[in-house]
Amino acid sequence: MMRDKLCSGDLGDELRSVIDFDEMAGGLNKRRMIQSAVFKELVKLIDPGVKAWQPSKGRNNVIMFVGLQGSGKTTTCTKLAYYYQRKGWKTCLICADTFRAGAFDQLKQNATKARIPFYGSYTEIDPVIIAQEGVEKFKAENFEIIIVDTSGRHKQQDSLFEEMLQVEQATKPDNIIFVMDATIGQACEVQAKAFKDKVDVASVIITKLDGHAKGGGALSAVAATRSPVIFIGTGEHTDDFEPFKVQPFVSKLLGMGDIEGLIDK
Amino acid sequence: MFSMFRNLVGSKTLTPEDLKPVLDKMKDHLIAKNVAADIAVKLCESVSAKLEGKVLGTFGSIASTVKTTLTEACVQILSPRRRVDILRDAMDARQNKRPYVITFCGVNGVGKSTNLAKTQVLRLLRLDSSVGRGLAPWPRGRGFEPQPSTVRAPTGWVDVCFWLVENGLSVLIAACDTFRSGAVEQLRTHVRKLNALHPPSKHQGREMVQLYERGYGKDSAGIAMEAIASARDYRIDVVLVDTAGRMQDNEPLMRALTKLVKVNQPDLVLFVGEALVGNEAVDQLTKFNRALADFSQQQPPRLIDGIILTKFDTIDDKVGAAVSMTYTTGQPIVFVGTGQTYSDLRNLNARAVVTSLLRA
Ligand SMILES: Nc1nc2c(ncn2[C@@H]2O[C@H](COP(=O)(O)OP(=O)(O)OP(=O)(O)O)[C@@H](O)[C@H]2O)c(=O)[nH]1
Ligand SMILES: Nc1nc2c(ncn2[C@@H]2O[C@H](COP(=O)(O)OP(=O)(O)OP(=O)(O)O)[C@@H](O)[C@H]2O)c(=O)[nH]1
Ligand SMILES: [Mg+2]
Ligand SMILES: [Mg+2]
- 3-class secondary structure per residue, B161-213: HHHHHHHCCCEEEEEECCCCCCHHHHHHHHHHHHHHHCCHHHCCCCCCEEEEC
Give the H/E segment covering residue B5. none
Residue whose CA lies nearest to ligand 1 atom number 13: A72
In whole angstroms, what is the distance from residue B261 CA to residue B105 CA? 10
- Quote the pTM value: 0.89
Lowest mean pLDDT, pick from B108-117, B166-175, B265-274: B166-175
Question: Which of A85-94, B160-169, B180-189 has the lowest average pLDDT?
Answer: B160-169
Chain A residues within an 8 Å CB radius of B318: 185-187
Higher pLDDT, B293 or A13: B293
Neighbours of B53 (CB within 10 A): 10
Question: How far does Cα A110 stand from its chain's mean position?
Answer: 19
Q: What is the pLDDT of residues B303-353, one digit of tens each?
A: 999 999 999 999 999 999 999 999 999 999 988 888 777 666 677 889 999
Q: How confident is the model at residue B150 (pLDDT cuts 50, 70, 90)?
A: very low
* pLDDT value for B161: 27
Q: What is the ipTM of this complex?
A: 0.91
Nearest CA to CA, how far is A5 from chain B (Å)?
A: 9
When the pLDDT of each residue in chain B is averaged and rounded to a whole number, the result is 81
pLDDT of residue B207: 85
Size of interface A-B (CB pairs under 8 A): 147
Residue B105 Cα to ligand 2 midpoint, Å, equals 12
Closest CA of chain A from B249, distance in Å: 6
Winning range, highest mean pLDDT, from A38-52, B130-144, B206-220: B206-220
Of B291, B260, B305, B277, residue with least CA distance to B82: B305
pLDDT at residue number B10: 56
Residue range B13-54, pLDDT digits in tens = 777 887 788 788 889 999 999 999 999 999 999 988 888 887
User: Which of B105, B107, B108 gets mutated to test ligand 1 (max ligand atoms within 8 A of its CB)?
Assistant: B108
Residues 71-130 of A with CB under 8 A from B: 71-72, 99-110, 113
| pLDDT at position A138 | 98
Mean pLDDT in residue range B99-115: 92
Centre of ligand 3 to C-alpha B271, Å, is 22
Q: Is A116's pLDDT higher than 90?
A: yes
Q: Which of B256, B277, B267, B260 is nearest to B328 (CA)?
A: B277
pLDDT per position as a tens digit, A90-106: 999 999 999 999 999 99
| Closest-lying ligand 1 atom to the alpha carbon of residue A79 | 6
pLDDT computed for residue B12 by the predictor: 60
Q: For all residues of chain A together, what is the average pLDDT?
A: 88
pLDDT attached to residue A216: 86
